[in-house]
Amino acid sequence: MSELAAILTRAGLSNPEQREHWTMKWISTMDHKRIGILYLSTALVFFVIGGIEALLIRLQLAVPNNRLLQPDEYNVVFTMHGTTMIFLVAMPALFGLANYILPLQIGARDMAFPRLNAFSFWLVPFGGLLLHFSFLAGGAPGVGWFAYAPLSETPYSSQLGVDYWALALLVLGIGSVGTSINLIATVLTQRAPNMTLRRLPLFSWMIFVNSFLVLMALPVLNAALVMLLIDRLLGAHFFLPSSGGSAIMWQHIFWAFGHPEVYIVAIPAFGILSEVIPVFARKPIFGYEFVAGSTVAIAFLSLLVWAHHMFTVGLGHTVDLFFVASSMLIAIPTGVKVLAWSATLVGGRIRLDTPMLFCTAALLQFLLAGLTGVSLASAALDWQTKNSYYLVAHFHFVFVGLIVFAILGALHYWFPKMSGRLLSERLGKWTFWLMTAGFNMTFVIQHFLGLAGMPRRIFTYADLPGWAWMNMVSTIGAFLMAAAALLFVWNLVTSLLNGERAGDNPWRAWTLEWATTSPPPPGNFRSLPPIRSRRPLWDDANPDRPDPMVGTKWRAEVHVPEKNETAVAAFIVSESAFFAVLILAYLFYNAVPEAGVGAHSLNLAKTGAFTLCLLLSSITIWRSEVSLDRGNQRAMRLWLAATLVLGGIFLTGQGLEYGTLFEDGASLNGNLFATAFFTLTGFHGLHVCAGLIALAIVLGLARSADFKRHPPPALKAVALYWHFVDAVWVVVFSTVYFLPHLR
Amino acid sequence: MDQDHIRLSVAAVLQVFDPQSPQARAMFRLGLESSVIFAIIFAMVAGAVVYALMRYRWHEGEPDPRQVAGNTTIEIVWTAIPCAIVVALFALTARTMSVSDPPAAPAPDLLVIGHQWWWEARYPKSGVVAANEIHIPVGRAMSIEFDSADVLHEFWVPRLARKIAAVPGHPNHIWIEADAPGTYLGVCSEFCGTEHAWMHFLIIAETPAKFAEWESSQLLPASKPAGLEARKGLALFEQTSCVSCHAVNGTVAGARVGPDLTHFASRRELGAGIVENTPDNLRRWLKDPQQVKPGAKMPDFKFSGEQIGQLVAYFETLK
Amino acid sequence: MTTEQFLLRGWTWGGCSLPMGAAVLVCYLVAFGFQRRFSCFAAALGLTLLTLRSPINSLADGYLFSAHMLQHLILLLIVPALAMLSLPRSLSLAMRPRVLGHPLFGWIAGVGAMWLWHAPALCNAAVSSRSVHALQTVSLLAMGGLFWRQILAPRESERLVPPSAILYLFSACVTCSILGIIVTFSPVEVCSIYSAPPIDRLGLLQFVRAGWGMTPERDQQVGGLLMWVPMCLIYLSAIVVQIARWFAATEGPLAEKL
């Protein structure tokens, strides 16, 4: 361990003179830069694990009728490979980059909530551990990364693997939402003066937009996982057709998350390309407005297209056609981006250093991935290519060809900033060429394997004409990629120790992260250059031809919102998505009433009265806020206490309702009404409890002298949350109690 | 090699490029049309990038170039062009969808049920029950309805028809048709558990006369075995738990869990494509199915060598 | 009956919408005169009349839920937006009391109109009763106006700033999408009157069901998808315009054009 400490010291990552042990410093850190590096190192560790799994897959498929792996072992390997690469490599790596770079790019001292940041990070290794613990707990999941029901249900997968998988993804999902809330709050509240939203560097802009997408999409997955876990652990049957559930429902919910997820990992990669390509072409991005705007369009459209993953499920031509149209539309903003990057190159003075090599390769590979993507959006072509190796090739061109290449480009680009040392260019170029050759060798041929009729996820195949040699080529390519990955790790280690000193701005880049030392000091900046355009350092270096000033026309850009309220508002967005799924599920499962308990068993009048209590509590907490604003602390505390009591009464009412239902013989695993009802109202009840705890804490704090002198913004934030909980109940109440009477 | 020959050898490998039915041909044509569009786009954009990389390289000592931040006209033009391409592709897709997947017939000619890990085919009009080998008459489109006995499966015959999922509780329909007699390989393309890889099936297209002949032969009950070994095999079959999963028409066995074995010996493959249906392979299978197809739902019955011999002799009579 | 015959015969010229349209036209011309923005007004008026008088209305009148949905979409989202654009830039739309001008009010009006009129009881009533249908038309136009006022008010100062406008439009879109999803995938009819029309007024039923293959299930799917995808695309276009408006304040190439 002491050698490691010495290495870190030499690399400038730890300081032996400090009293605390360096490991403690890293474990307890709340500095966004260290957390960023922790995220990246975690991603690297899991990348090695996921990579080994990939090699096992390719080894098994190298020759026909191979028996290297048993079928179930193979199924576990590809499930873990997919889950690991998406949730434990791509997302943490991109969050790591965002964590490190975004506050620097906007001239902030740190993230808005450093503690939340550390918490969100530690959920990643914890989630990864939970997922991999399933190996010890009697079998890792072997149901594929999208765990299609009913295969993922207990009758068909009885081992604990799927439960660990679902729990791990829940944990990771919560961490991702936490980070995104933090990133949104950071961008909205921590920007340096004059760093208006329209002057954001594209990477930061895209991370900002992307964070909204995470807020919308991840809770949808969380809802799906919760429903799956209720099925598996509590014996319900949301997704079990044999007991009245719906197998297609899982696909809808999963892909409503799954498709945005693709963009969640792709948009930061777009951001990287938009940073690196201009710097190495020595020109600003061609059409900043269009690149930034198309990101919003992509994020928006990505929420609208999920059913293109379901063209073969039999939703009918009507539904298919609408989704063909919406999916193809994504090609337009994406095309705008690709063309903007290409046009940035034209007329530049292009320097092909390693970061640029990776990014141009990513650009070209993404072009191909985009085109095959359009072919998959065309339902009639999808009917042939879906679930074949053509699809495998397509999404690996997105995930590896674009995202991994962009991340590698970004690491080569920002490594000097993080460590103060340059990566070796010679090793970097070797890595690049090995990687590009290996990647294309592995995946170009897989398009043809798909057209030859090879379905995905088969553990072995018959010796059909052409299949054997194509698979062999693919396997050899995979090993070239592995060699490139090893070389990259070697480059990281040696350059960290003996790399050339980088200086503040080795690439002569223009965004604020290069305006501080490498690595930046705690607090990030000693002084900031004037910010009047999108490229402050260009203006600084070229006073004779500065960029045109980017104006501040809108009050929204000058007004800085309060960070706690911003975070709670962002949290509310994510919670709304979660409840939207549960409410939709309730509606679908109860469209046709079943035998047994149902909406008719509910007591509208009694619950109506308790609902009034809850609504009243929104008024009391509003009065409490008003009292605080007027400086009347006693009234504030009284109104707050009234809110607590009203909330308590509502919960009691819910308890009574549950009691009556149980007496009627309802149980969570009874019929679909009971399952959906208890899930929906139960989660709402949990949120009420959380709100009550938060209120009680505020009430407790309000008694302290410190609170009386400087009332903190906590009350406003909690009140916002409380109003949300009430609003959700209004929707739940109308859906569950009122709607049946409207029929 | 002449051109036809090359085309044939490509088609032998790339099944999708070798459509053998009107439905598959429509999709193939759309594939060609869109590939041309994609190839042109790729060549133009990639060409521009490569050209820029070669033409605009930085050389030591050069100053930064003119700072061009964009051009709205160009941006609008290159937003409009993809719009037009998307509209065209959409129209082509809509046309192809109606050709390659016409509306379902009121009553299906065939009911295909996915099981972990084999396919059951029922001909409701004649009452034939088959497994993994689906016979169709040439030149007549057959309407198929899909169901699943357990998890999701997906029916894919690249040369003949669109893919369609077999979803429990959600019947789906397609049309299947073949231009010429022949055997067409089909696979399950939706991951369905342990032995997803071995869920092959064959579409056997025959002339209408041959198809009718096949259908009537399949309707016959199993013939009574003549030889002593085979008779012992039948007795063993009826006494053991074989009958709790399998059916043989004309015996006590009538379960629907596993494949119907009435005409077992007329089938070409065992274990949904894993091995050829020969007495030797059958012997291996009966000795321990888990050795041949690990994870298959049929357990190892620990038959003695003698018993296996009897069973094989019996099954070989089930023509 | 063939499709062409239907398209020729499906027009209705009775009712009070023509005289009312003429009255509104006169009012507009008297108030604002004939100027550049008149084209927007003409488009709004033309679309309204087209929606209410053309074969779309005949279909919506008891035959096709999807036609009814198309009417909603035009009356709630397109016509009011065009009408807003037709007003001269100097006109103030400030409202008393102030709460009417609050974005939340506009949002609830726009989203609420969609949800409210698709409650099964109201949806059926709007088809079976002429007066409810008229009330529906007027309320859709009015609530659409309140919704778009926040985005397209003639005075720049009365509009939302772009980032807020984007959130406003986005959340409205998501909320309408949810309704669209419910309608598309709902196993039961939202508007039961369309699946079993009590009377076949124009003798179209057979033609629509068999000729066009619009079974009640497919009809509802198309209706739901219209509410979901094209409506979202309208919101998306508005969002793109907001982004352009936002960046147009920059001294860049875009500013020269806008």
Give percent above pLDDT 90 in chain A. Answer: 73
Q: Residue C250: which pLDDT band, with cuts at 50, 70 and 90? A: low
A363 and B86 within 8 Å at the Cβ level: the answer is no
Q: Is B183 on the interface with A (CB under 8 A)?
A: no
User: Residues A434-452: pLDDT tens digits?
Assistant: 999 999 999 999 999 999 9
Q: Is A71 on the interface with B (CB under 8 A)?
A: yes
- Contact between residue A270 and residue A403 where contact means Cβ atoms under 8 Å apart: no
Confidence (pLDDT) at A69 = 93
HSE, CB side, 13 Å, CA atoms: give it for residue A271: 28
Confidence (pLDDT) at C156 = 80
Nearest residue to A76 (alpha-carbon basis) of B295, B89, B270, C108: B295
Nearest residue to A261 (alpha-carbon basis) of A226, A299, A223, A307: A299
What values do phi and psi take at A630, rounded to 5? Answer: -85, 0
C240 and A287 within 8 Å at the Cβ level: the answer is no
Yes or no: domain B110-219 corresponds to CATH 2.60.40.420? yes
The tally of domains found in chain C comes to 1
Domain range summary for chain B, segments of one domain joined by +: 3-60+67-100, 110-219, 228-315
Q: Is B60 on the interface with A (CB under 8 A)?
A: no
Tell me the two tokens of residue C133: 């249908």
3-class DSSP string for B103-130: CCCCCCCEEEEEECCEEEEEECCCCEEE
Cβ-based contacts under 8 A for chains A and C: 100
User: Residues A290-337: pLDDT tens digits?
Assistant: 999 999 999 989 988 899 999 999 998 989 999 999 999 999 999 999
Q: Is pLDDT at A660 greater than 60 in this prediction?
A: yes
- Which residue(s) pair with B115 in the sheet? B118
Q: Residue A643: which pLDDT band, with cuts at 50, 70 and 90? A: very high
d(CA A81, CA A83) in angstroms, rounded, equals 6
Q: Is pLDDT at B3 greater than 70 in this prediction?
A: no
Confidence (pLDDT) at B311 = 92
d(CA A374, CA A269) in angstroms, rounded, equals 19
Length of chain A: 743
Confidence (pLDDT) at C253 = 44
Question: Tokens 């026909």 correspond to what residue?
Answer: A64
Q: Is pLDDT at B99 greater than 70 in this prediction?
A: yes
Whether B110-219 and B228-315 share one fold: the answer is: yes
Chain C residues inside the 8 Å CB shell of A300 = 170, 173, 232, 236, 239
Q: Is pLDDT at B42 greater than 60 in this prediction?
A: yes
Reported as type and span, the H/E element at residue A209 is: helix A202-234
Pairwise pLDDT comparison (C3 vs B162), residue with the higher score: B162
d(CA C37, CA C39) in angstroms, rounded, equals 5
According to CATH, the superfamily of the domain at A566-742 is: Cytochrome c oxidase, subunit III, four-helix bundle (1.20.120.80)
Q: Residue C10: which pLDDT band, with cuts at 50, 70 and 90? A: confident
Max Cα–Cα distance, chain C, nearest Å: 62
Give percent above pLDDT 90 in chain C. Answer: 7
- Contact between residue A409 and residue B188 where contact means Cβ atoms under 8 Å apart: no
Confidence (pLDDT) at C258 = 39
Pairwise pLDDT comparison (C248 vs C30), residue with the higher score: C30
Q: What is the mean pLDDT of residues A75-79?
A: 95
Q: Residue C117: which pLDDT band, with cuts at 50, 70 and 90? A: confident
Confidence (pLDDT) at B241 = 87
B72 and C256 within 8 Å at the Cβ level: the answer is yes
B154 and A312 within 8 Å at the Cβ level: the answer is yes
Yes or no: domain A31-541 corresponds to CATH 1.10.3450.40? no
Q: Quick one: A666 exposed, middle or buried, by C-beta within 10 A (0-12, 13-18, 19+)?
A: buried
> What amino acid occupies position A458?
I
Q: What is the mean pLDDT of residues C64-83?
A: 90
User: Residues B184-229: pLDDT tens digits?
Assistant: 999 999 999 999 999 999 999 999 999 999 999 999 888 888 888 8
Q: Is B170 on the interface with A (CB under 8 A)?
A: yes
d(CA A614, CA A616) in angstroms, rounded, equals 5
Q: How far is CA A340 from the centre of its chain?
A: 26
Q: Is B290 on the interface with A (CB under 8 A)?
A: no
Question: Looking at chain C, which residue has its C-alpha nearest residue B75?
Answer: C254
- Which residue(s) pair with B155 in the sheet? B164, B188
Chain C residues inside the 8 Å CB shell of A252 = 185
Q: How far is CA B207 from the centre of its chain?
A: 21
SS3 category, B144: strand
Q: Residue B135: which pLDDT band, with cuts at 50, 70 and 90? A: very high
B69 and C252 within 8 Å at the Cβ level: the answer is yes
Tell me the two tokens of residue C27: 């009012």
- Contact between residue C183 and residue C119 where contact means Cβ atoms under 8 Å apart: no
d(CA A102, CA A180) in angstroms, rounded, equals 12
* Chain B touching partners, 3 or more CB pairs below 8 A: A, C
Domain range summary for chain A, segments of one domain joined by +: 1-30, 31-541, 566-742
Q: At what angle do helices A71-83 and A32-61 cross, to 10 degrees?
A: 150
- Contact between residue C227 and residue C180 where contact means Cβ atoms under 8 Å apart: yes
Give, in order, the Cα–Cα distances in Å from A34 to each of A121, A126, C58: 11, 18, 67
| Domain interval for residue C250 | 3-257
Q: What is the mean pLDDT of residues A345-361?
A: 94
Give, in order, the Cα–Cα distances in Å from A615 to each of A76, A687, A722, A724, B310: 49, 15, 10, 11, 78
User: Residues A472-500: pLDDT tens digits?
Assistant: 999 999 999 999 999 999 999 999 999 99
d(CA A410, CA A417) in angstroms, rounded, equals 11
Mutate which of B68, B71, B72, B90 to test chain C, going by most C C-beta atoms within 10 A? B72
d(CA B239, CA B216) in angstroms, rounded, equals 29
- Contact between residue B300 and residue B306 where contact means Cβ atoms under 8 Å apart: no
Confidence (pLDDT) at A8 = 66
Q: Residue B28: which pLDDT band, with cuts at 50, 70 and 90? A: very high
d(CA A399, CA A382) in angstroms, rounded, equals 19
Q: What is the mean pLDDT of residues A159-186?
A: 95
Question: Looking at chain A, which residue has its C-alpha nearest residue C228?
Answer: A304
SS3 category, B187: strand
Q: What is the mean pLDDT of residues C202-217?
A: 78
Which of 3.30.365.10, 1.10.287.90, 3.20.20.70, 3.10.20.30 would CATH assign to domain B3-60+67-100? 1.10.287.90
Give percent above pLDDT 70 in chain C. Answer: 95
SS3 category, B183: strand
Chain C residues inside the 8 Å CB shell of A319 = 184, 221, 225
**A134-170 burial by CB neighbour count: b if 16+ within 10 A, else e?**
beeeebbbbbbbbbbbbbbbbebbebbbbbbbbbbbb
Q: What is the mean pLDDT of residues C140-156?
A: 89
Q: Residue C254: which pLDDT band, with cuts at 50, 70 and 90? A: very low
**Domain made up of B228-315: CATH architecture:** Sandwich (2.60)
Cα-trace Rg, chain A: 27
Nearest residue to C244 (alpha-carbon basis) of A632, A85, B301, B75: B75
Chain B residues inside the 8 Å CB shell of C256 = 72
Chain A residues inside the 8 Å CB shell of B184 = none
d(CA B21, CA A633) in angstroms, rounded, equals 81
Chain A residues inside the 8 Å CB shell of C66 = none
| Residues sharing a CB contact under 8 Å with residue B182, sequence separation 6 or more, in sequence order | B20, B204, B205
For chain A, the average pLDDT equals: 91
Q: Residue A10: which pLDDT band, with cuts at 50, 70 and 90? A: low
Pairwise pLDDT comparison (B61 vs A567), residue with the higher score: A567
Angle at Cα A316 formed by Cα B127 and Cα A446, nearest 5°?
Answer: 90
DSSP state of A515: G
Q: Give the β-pairing of B201-206 and B133-137.
A: parallel
Q: Residue A599: which pLDDT band, with cuts at 50, 70 and 90? A: confident
d(CA C224, CA C130) in angstroms, rounded, equals 24
Q: Is B74 on the interface with A (CB under 8 A)?
A: yes
For chain C, the average pLDDT equals: 83
Mutate which of C66, C220, C233, C250 to test chain A, going by most A C-beta atoms within 10 A? C250
Q: Is pLDDT at C248 greater than 80 in this prediction?
A: no
d(CA A62, CA B136) in angstroms, rounded, equals 35
